Structure 1
Amino acid sequence: MTTPVIEKTVHTAPRSPWSGQASREELAHWRQIAQGVAAALSPDVLERDRRNEDPHAEVELLRNSGLINLIIPREWGGEGGHWESALHAVRILSRVDASIGQILAYHYANLGAVVFYGSRQVQELWLRRSALGRWSWGDSVNPVDPNLELVPEGDGYRLTGVKHFSTGASVGDAILVNAVVSGGAENGKFLALALEHDREGIHFLGDWDALGQRLSASGSVKYDGVRVTSADIIGEVGDEPFSTLVTPYIQLAFGNLYLGIAEGALERGRQITLARKNSWFLSPAETYAQDPLTQRVYGELSSRIAAVEALADKIGTEFDAVIARGNELTAEERARIAISIAQLKVVSTEVGVEVANRIFEVTGSSSAKSETGLDIFWRNVRTHTLHDPVDYKKVEVGANYLLGEVQPISLYT
């Protein structure tokens, strides 16, 4: 048996294909595109949520809108947008359908991983193919579920095991897979792979049935002796600062996801409140919208959302500057942006859950009817905010503030 040898990538060329900042015109353009997709998703969002089916038609909307190729550089066939624009798109979609916002957020993370882990040649190869085919990327990388075995065989490998919470994989054209080599000269190496959706031996189990994020296609994937060649390998997953930016990005995307859900819940609540033509019998106001107690709640919630929005916008701009640093990015710079994003994760989680919960206080008992659908915001934010414990993000921020400590590099920190 010939054991494949994966040479450790030595990066000499510029690592990042991204540079500069999003212009006002760029941001306005992609906001308009995202708003158009959100408008298309809105009319039947509750019906689709209840059917709990894989969102193939929804992904096609993302494909046809151009959002799929937003961050792929123009020279490789993409739209040449910035990460700030991508994060705004995630936020806007999440106001209406956070499941599709999640799929888009993870798609961008997986495209980013190709750059973070791969050489310049690998980056160009995969992103050109992705742009040409307008691929949607899913993943099997859940770090607390390390159940995949990559065993050397001949001049390649066999991939075996089950990976849970594989967001977007069942509706994607390509799947980003993380697996550790078991056996041979490369034993213990942590590799990132790219596999096409229809590769023989890949089975989508369709077992995602959560309280919320029901259309995020986050079911399990079984890999049954899947043949993997050296051409499928993107690179090694390590701890070099630039290659670990996938974690700060996805945490930043979560912050925008939760912010979008909060904005959507507040707007839906506003519509319901304005449609109510009476008031509580003890109120001096003619309508609920004119009641000072109702106004107080909306004032409080909208102010908190505005604060989270300001922080998210600030960090979104900073992230483009960080990612443009490429192999010149230092550990200190990486830590600094990670702490800022952790702060956003804390406040966006708390505000998202609070708004989605308290909005019922000002919309009345009838808003609890299934047909109203106000519960979708709470179900979605409550489900996804369990992704990784927010208390540990608070500890991460506090330890850094007090002692200057930085958490170890992981797919969560």
Structure 2
Amino acid sequence: MDFPASPPTAPGAPELTGLLARLRTEAHDDTTGRPSDSALDALRASGVLRLPVPVEYAGFGAGWHDANRVITTLARTDASVGIIVFLHYAAVSRIIAYGSQEQRKQVLTAVSDHGLILASSWSEPGSDAAKQNIATTAQRQADGGWVLNGAKTFTTGAGVADLYLVLARTGAQDSGSGSYGRTDQGIFLVDSTRPGFTTDGVLDLSGMRRSATGLIRLEGYAAEDGDVLIRSGDTPAVIGHPHTVGLTLGAVALGVAEEAHDIAVEVGRRRSLLDSPLYRHHVFELGSRLAAVRGVVEAATAPPGDRSGPALTAKVFASETAEAICRGAQELAGSAAFSRGHALNRLAQDARAVTLMGPPNYLCRELVTARLGAR
């Protein structure tokens, strides 16, 4: 693989100052549907990407609580980059837990040394949110390798990521399914520099418009046997693994909500509205909701053992409450806040996007409540 040229420079922890400064200059610009190359260079150089990578692979070895906090910090400035980093961390968590020794050494070391960006590619046109029915296939070859064919949509980081975790059918769709994915599916490490891999543009989304969410195509992509992350009945567990460690999209929603709240306060200060008890009380209501979101996101990594329930609950509560906070901030800011280019309008659309991103909130509710009957 041809790795990016800019290595991380942080000595012992990610250096966010330069990255955030770069993102502030362009977060309002969604014309290309993706972060600029300079922003991606700053992301790679910051050390953010190797935050949860174990120290044995030259990472910082941080816990998932710290990972959620970094995601929130990024999302306050640029929610789209927050989403890209969230999905990168999710892929890192899967490789740590399920990758072979060689995969962990090669991929995780490349994240640390070269700023490799990872992404996951599950969704397809017409497939359900639980990824039960997909058309992308992986055909076993006589030499032990695989040939992948298919198209994926709603891949966040398309054309930005260097390595993709791709879900594909490894057999006839007649075996059992898990709560998220099927047991006759495999997950493959797909190198964006190899023949057979192409990206097909980005989608014109309402929210997360800089997240490079688009289509990838696999046409005769040759994967080696060592590129298989998993091809057994564990596939549903691998898909859902990031939730078990407490990694949550609620961290992105929290960053959006924090920024919307601060804008409402600044609008009041700038217009001398904070002298009004009514305005102050409205701001208080936004702040109390924000405190609840922060508490739920912080709690996602607190329980011992499987943290799926708290992580999915945080995703639902944080994203839906962030939407409400953004609406409240827009109402306080007045009609200008509903214009296409206003920061609050962008934040409101980003909060809405989090509710729809996988697993969407209705599926999160099902995944959490289904456990109740199993007890």
TM-score surpassing 0.5?
yes
Letter of the 1:405 partner, please give it. G
Q: Which has the larger radius of gyration?
A: 1
**Aligned-partner Cα distance in 2 for 1:224–1:175:** 15
SS of structure 1 residue aligned to 2:88: helix
Letter of the 2:165 partner, please give it. L
Aligned length: 346
Aligned: 1:307 with 2:292: yes
2:230 to 220, 226, 235: 235
Partner residue, 1:198: 193
Letter of the 2:348 partner, please give it. W
Residue pairs, 1:319-334, within 5 angstroms: 322=304, 333-334=305-306
Aligned: 1:160 with 2:160: no
Inter-CA distance 171–241: structure 2 relative to 1 (3 Å threshold): closer
1:124-157 superposed Cα distances (whole Å, 9 cap, x missing partner): 3332233232201122123536221111233122
Q: CA deviation at 1:389?
A: 4.1
Q: CA deviation at 1:385?
A: 1.0
1:30-54 superposed Cα distances (whole Å, 9 cap, x missing partner): 5xx34552233113211x2234245
Deviates more, 1:151-160 or 1:65-74: 151-160
Deviates more, 1:171-180 or 1:231-240: 231-240
Partner residue, 1:179: 168
Residue pairs, 1:70-219, within 5 angstroms: 70-142=51-123, 144=131, 146-155=134-143, 156-182=145-171, 189-219=184-214
Aligned: 1:273 with 2:243: no
Would you say the 8 A contact 1:119–1:235 is kept in 2?
no
1:40 to 18, 22, 37: 22
Would you say the 8 A contact 2:168–2:185 is kept in 1?
yes
Partner residue, 2:180: none
2:309 to 332, 336, 339: 339
Letter of the 2:187 partner, please give it. A
Q: CA deviation at 1:111?
A: 1.2
Would you say the 8 A contact 1:139–1:169 is kept in 2?
no
**Aligned-partner Cα distance in 2 for 1:59–1:237:** 35
Inter-CA distance 369–169: structure 2 relative to 1 (3 Å threshold): closer
Q: CA deviation at 1:63?
A: 0.7
Partner residue, 1:328: none
**Aligned-partner Cα distance in 1 for 2:106–2:31:** 39
Inter-CA distance 338–80: structure 2 relative to 1 (3 Å threshold): closer
Inter-CA distance 342–290: structure 2 relative to 1 (3 Å threshold): same
Would you say the 8 A contact 1:107–1:168 is kept in 2?
no
Partner residue, 1:373: 343
**Aligned-partner Cα distance in 2 for 1:175–1:398:** 30
Would you say the 8 A contact 1:273–1:288 is kept in 2?
yes
Inter-CA distance 391–157: structure 2 relative to 1 (3 Å threshold): closer
Q: Which has the higher contact order (CA 8 A, sep 6+)?
A: 1
Q: CA deviation at 1:393?
A: 3.6
1:220-268 superposed Cα distances (whole Å, 9 cap, x missing partner): 1011111111121222354499756524169842111111111111112
Would you say the 8 A contact 2:163–2:190 is kept in 1?
yes
Structure 2: gaps spanning 5 or more residues: 1-11, 124-129, 173-182
**Aligned-partner Cα distance in 1 for 2:253–2:245:** 12
Q: CA deviation at 1:395?
A: 5.1
**Aligned-partner Cα distance in 2 for 1:390–1:245:** 14
Partner residue, 1:10: none
Q: CA deviation at 1:84?
A: 1.5
TM-score under structure 2 length normalisation: 0.83
**Aligned-partner Cα distance in 1 for 2:223–2:191:** 11
Letter of the 2:163 partner, please give it. A
**Aligned-partner Cα distance in 1 for 2:246–2:161:** 21
Q: CA deviation at 1:345?
A: 2.3
Inter-CA distance 192–92: structure 2 relative to 1 (3 Å threshold): same
**Aligned-partner Cα distance in 2 for 1:176–1:342:** 21
Cα RMSD over matched residues? 2.7
Deviates more, 1:376-385 or 1:134-143: 134-143
SS of structure 2 residue aligned to 1:308: helix
Letter of the 1:167 partner, please give it. T
TM-score under structure 1 length normalisation: 0.76
SS of structure 1 residue aligned to 2:66: helix
